[in-house]
């Protein structure tokens, strides 16, 4: 009897972890899509742009958007899917989001190194700062 309870408890725990993992993956996907939209949203057709904004940024349901736009729920789903793919293709080709993220990381490193120099007066980090700034300039 005890093993059955433990097995059931273990299964419930695994199901909850799986559900949490899927929820985090969904949130990560939405964050990624909203970033892609920030970079490439202006390239979408105005009608598609509005639907994508409502779904991703305004968190409206497919049904709510369908009612508002006077189209089917399936139509909204297809537009959101098509826009997501389009934005991903833009990123694959242009890599603006990747470049932005890398540049942001390098600037954070420069900031950390500059603070170390400021706090300690040790100029040994200056060479690393110069190197990072040169790579940023080359990437631009």
What pLDDT, in 10s, does the model give residues 38-92? 999 999 999 999 999 999 999 999 999 999 999 999 999 999 999 999 999 999 9
Which tokens go with 30?
């939405």
Contact 39, 97 (CB under 8 A): yes
pTM for the whole structure: 0.72
- Cβ of 40: how many Cβ atoms within 10 Å? 19
In the chain, where are the structural domains located? 1-94, 95-140
Label residue 4 by pLDDT band (50, 70, 90): very low
Q: What is the CATH number of domain 1-94?
A: 1.10.10.10
SS3 assignment, position 123: helix
């Amino acid at each position: 009897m005890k093993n059955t309870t433990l097995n059931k408890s273990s299964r419930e725990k695994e199901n909850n972890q799986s559900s949490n993992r899927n929820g985090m993956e969904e949130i990560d996907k939405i964050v990624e899509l909203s970033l892609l939209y920030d970079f490439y949203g202006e390239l979408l057709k105005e009608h598609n742009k509005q639907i994508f904004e409502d779904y991703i940024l305004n968190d409206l349901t497919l049904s709510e958007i369908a009612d508002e736009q006077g189209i089917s729920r399936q139509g909204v789903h297809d537009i959101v899917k098509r826009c997501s793919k389009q934005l991903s293709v833009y990123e694959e080709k242009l890599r603006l989001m990747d470049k932005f993220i890398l540049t942001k990381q390098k600037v954070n490193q420069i900031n950390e190194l500059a603070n170390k120099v400021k706090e300690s007066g040790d100029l040994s980090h200056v060479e690393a700062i110069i190197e990072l700034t040169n790579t940023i300039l080359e990437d631009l």
